[in-house]
Amino acid sequence: MRNLTIENICDAVNGTLYYDNGNTAEASGVVIDSRLVEENFIFIAAKGERVDGHSFIPQVFEKKALAVICEEVPEEEYGPCIQVENSFEALKKLAAYYRQQFDVKVVGITGSVGKTSTKEMIASVLSAHYKVHKTAANHNNEVGLPLTILAMPEDTEVMVLEMGIDNFGQMTELAKTAQPDVSVITNIGTAHLEFLGTRDGILKAKTEMFEYLNPEGQAFLNGEDDKLSTVKAVNGKTPVRFGLEEKDDVYASEIEENGILGSSASIHLSGNNTIQVNIPLPGIHSVINACAGAAVGEYLGLTAEEIKSGIESVKTIAGRNNLIRTDSLIIIDDCYNANPVSMKASLDVLKKAFSRRVAVLGDMFELGENEAAMHEETGAYAAECADVLLSVGPLSEHMHSGAVNAGMKKALHFDTKEELMKQLPALLAKGDTVLVKASHGMALEQVVAFLQKLDL
Residue-wise pLDDT for 1-15, tens only, equals 999 999 999 999 999
pLDDT at residue 49 in the model: 82
Q: Crossing angle, helix 396-405 and helix 371-385, to 10 degrees?
A: 50
pLDDT at 278 over 70: yes
pLDDT at 72 over 80: yes
Alpha-carbon gap, residue 225 to 243, rounded angstroms: 9
Alpha-carbon gap, residue 353 to 436, rounded angstroms: 14
Share of the chain above pLDDT 70, in %: 98
pLDDT at residue 354 in the model: 86
Which carries the bigger pLDDT value, residue 307 or residue 353?
Answer: 307
pLDDT at 338 over 70: yes
pLDDT at residue 48 in the model: 84
pLDDT at 182 over 70: yes
pLDDT at residue 93 in the model: 97
CA angle 191, 174, 91 (to 5 degrees): 130
Are 346 and 339 spatial neighbours (Cβ–Cβ below 8 Å)?
no
Are 420 and 434 spatial neighbours (Cβ–Cβ below 8 Å)?
no
pLDDT at residue 124 in the model: 97
Mapped onto helix, strand or coil, the DSSP state of residue 447 is helix
pLDDT at residue 149 in the model: 96
433-437 and 357-362 beta bridge pairing: parallel
pLDDT at 208 over 80: yes
Residue-wise pLDDT for 136-179, tens only, equals 876 888 899 999 999 999 999 999 999 988 788 899 999 999 99
- pLDDT tier at 16 (50, 70, 90 boundaries)? very high
Q: What CATH topology corresponds to 322-453? A: Protein-Tyrosine Phosphatase; Chain A (3.90.190)
DSSP per-residue letters across 6-22 = HHHHHHHTT-EEES---
> Which range has the worst mean pLDDT, 110-114, 234-238, 264-268?
110-114
The domain 102-312 belongs to what CATH superfamily?
Mur-like, catalytic domain (3.40.1190.10)
pLDDT at residue 168 in the model: 87
SS (H, E, C) 82-111: EECCCHHHHHHHHHHHHHCCCCCEEEEEEC
Locate the DSSP E strands across 205-363. Answer: 218-222, 240-243, 250-257, 263-268, 274-279, 322-325, 330-333, 357-362
Alpha-carbon gap, residue 120 to 296, rounded angstroms: 13
pLDDT at residue 318 in the model: 65
- pLDDT tier at 312 (50, 70, 90 boundaries)? very high
Helices H, strands E: what count in the chain?
15, 20
Closest by CA position to 41, among listed 25, 19, 22, 58: 25
- pLDDT tier at 191 (50, 70, 90 boundaries)? low
pLDDT at 196 over 80: no
pLDDT at 75 over 80: yes
**Arithmetic mean of pLDDT, 425-445:** 95
pLDDT at residue 198 in the model: 85
pLDDT at 321 over 80: no
Which carries the bigger pLDDT value, residue 281 or residue 37?
Answer: 37
As a whole number of angstroms, the longest Cα–Cα distance in the chain is 74
pLDDT at residue 320 in the model: 66
pLDDT at residue 227 in the model: 94
pLDDT at residue 255 in the model: 96
pLDDT at residue 192 in the model: 62
Alpha-carbon gap, residue 438 to 333, rounded angstroms: 10
Return mean pLDDT, the chain.
93
Alpha-carbon gap, residue 334 to 327, rounded angstroms: 20
- CA distances to 87, 204, 209, 231 from 168, in Å: 21, 8, 11, 18
Pick from 48-52, 329-333, 388-392 the range whose average pLDDT is largest: 388-392
The domain 6-90 belongs to what CATH superfamily?
MurE/MurF, N-terminal domain (3.40.1390.10)
pLDDT at 350 over 70: yes
pLDDT at residue 116 in the model: 87
pLDDT at 372 over 90: yes
CA angle 142, 148, 152 (to 5 degrees): 150
Alpha-carbon gap, residue 341 to 314, rounded angstroms: 23
Residue-wise pLDDT for 212-257, tens only, equals 999 999 999 999 999 999 999 999 999 999 999 999 999 999 999 8
pLDDT at residue 319 in the model: 62
Q: Report domain extents, the chain.
A: 6-90, 102-312, 322-453
**Arithmetic mean of pLDDT, 324-337:** 90
**Are 6-90 and 102-312 equal in CATH topology?**
no
